[in-house]
């Protein structure tokens, strides 16, 4: 018995195939020469995906290259000292990513002979890996037909299909996951998934999308209605919290006081010059900032300060927070007792700065010195 495919279904299949082919052909001609695309080695794909979770491509690339030079294999990473791992991550932010990948490397050496698993469920079980990252590694490293949905893909699909449901409502994201899964050509997930992301990064940008260069504009409803800027739709605008903070540089015998943030706190495992939050959504005058910093320092260290002088300011933005970090240096102080926080602290020389992992803001303070 033979079966005939309905003509309408034939048309739908042809549209899907043309969309897939146009996108993949464009990707082959226009893809960026990213280092993990040379061999699609699972460890490299894993590291790249973790770095790119909260980081722009241009920022992540030099970090990736330095990381691979220092830790070329899972085994090399597993043997590394945690301070060195965090130092190489310095400036990328969201440092739990570095700790997770380091711990996972140790686990893979102990339980899997240092081999990265190929099975999707095993990939998903690795610390720090969620649905998106597991799908990205499975499809890019192993060419498994797994869907992925990131910001670029949300933007592309919402424009192609003119989807008016807000993407910042969690339940609506499932629509995009199912849609992306249907679009994947069987056996072609590696190229197709990367092509969708690359299209969002290079052509279908947030502002001023280059529709004339888009290989799938003929399928795009937003292009046909000249409304690409209307998508993706968001239900609410994120409110930003303005924060003022202060850091104090203490120098004694050409050495500087730094302290270690406990694991479990924000930026845990990193070293910093003493820092305090001063205000939220309230602007302080320069005198108020200086006086409050001196009071907090005296309370914490039981030091007597004759004077502190401003060194500079650093802008630091993270998770809906816009922070101004005021940096001061104590000109003269009398040390009575050590810090009261219970945090590990050390006096180190400028030459030793390179041995200690700082957050990006405190690395800038070290550079100031």
Cβ neighbors of 265 (< 8 A, separation 6 or more) are none
The span from the CA of 106 to the CA of 122, in Å, is: 15
The span from the CA of 324 to the CA of 327, in Å, is: 10
CB–CB of 310/228 below 8 Å?
no
Q: In angstroms, what CA-CA distances link 145 with 14, 18, 217, 243?
A: 20, 19, 24, 44
Nearest to 318 by CA among 48, 82, 55: 55
The span from the CA of 48 to the CA of 35, in Å, is: 9
Question: Residue 171: in which H helix or E strand, if any?
Answer: helix 170-183
Please give the structure tokens belonging to residue 19: 């969309």
CB–CB of 123/50 below 8 Å?
no
The span from the CA of 276 to the CA of 360, in Å, is: 16
User: How big is the chain, counted in residues?
Assistant: 369
CB atoms within 10 A of CB 130: 10
State the catalytic residues.
49
CB–CB of 86/261 below 8 Å?
no
CB atoms within 10 A of CB 314: 18
Angle (CA) 207-211-215 rounded to 5° is 130
């Amino acid at each position: 018995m033979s079966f005939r495919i309905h003509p309408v279904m034939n048309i739908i299949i042809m549209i899907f195939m043309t969309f897939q082919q146009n996108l993949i052909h464009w990707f082959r001609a226009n893809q960026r020469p990213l280092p993990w695309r040379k061999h699609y080695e699972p460890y490299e794909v894993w590291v790249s995906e973790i770095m790119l979770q909260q980081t722009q491509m241009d920022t992540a690339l030099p970090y990736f290259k330095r990381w691979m030079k220092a830790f070329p294999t899972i085994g090399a990473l597993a043997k590394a000292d945690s301070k060195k791992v965090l130092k190489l991550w310095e400036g990328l932010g969201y440092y739990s990513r570095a700790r997770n990948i380091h711990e996972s490397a140790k686990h893979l050496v102990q339980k899997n002979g240092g081999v990265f698993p190929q099975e999707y469920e095993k990939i998903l079980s690795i610390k720090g890996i969620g649905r998106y990252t597991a799908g990205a590694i499975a499809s890019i490293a192993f060419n498994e037909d797994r869907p992925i949905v990131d910001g670029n893909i949300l933007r592309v699909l919402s424009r192609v299909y003119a989807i008016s449901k807000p993407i910042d409502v969690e339940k609506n994201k499932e629509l995009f996951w199912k849609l992306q899964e249907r679009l994947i050509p069987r056996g072609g997930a590696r190229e197709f998934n990367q092509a969708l992301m690359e299209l969002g990064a290079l052509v279908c940008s947030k502002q001023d999308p280059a529709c004339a260069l888009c290989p799938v504009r003929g399928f795009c409803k937003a292009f046909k209605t000249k409304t690409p800027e209307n998508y993706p739709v968001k239900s609410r605008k994120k409110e930003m919290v303005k924060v003022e903070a202060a850091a104090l540089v203490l120098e004694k015998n050409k050495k500087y006081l730094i302290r270690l943030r406990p694991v479990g706190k924000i930026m845990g495992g990193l070293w910093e010059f003493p820092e305090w939050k001063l205000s939220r959504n309230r602007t302080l005058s320069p005198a108020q900032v200086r006086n409050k910093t001196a009071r907090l320092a005296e309370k914490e260290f039981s030091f007597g300060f004759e004077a502190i002088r401003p060194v500079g300011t650093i802008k630091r933005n993270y998770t809906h927070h816009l922070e101004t970090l005021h940096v001061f240096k104590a000109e003269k102080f009398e040390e009575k007792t050590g810090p009261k926080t219970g945090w590990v602290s050390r006096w180190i020389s400028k030459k030793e700065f390179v041995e200690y992992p700082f957050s990006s803001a405190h690395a800038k303070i070290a550079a100031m010195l």
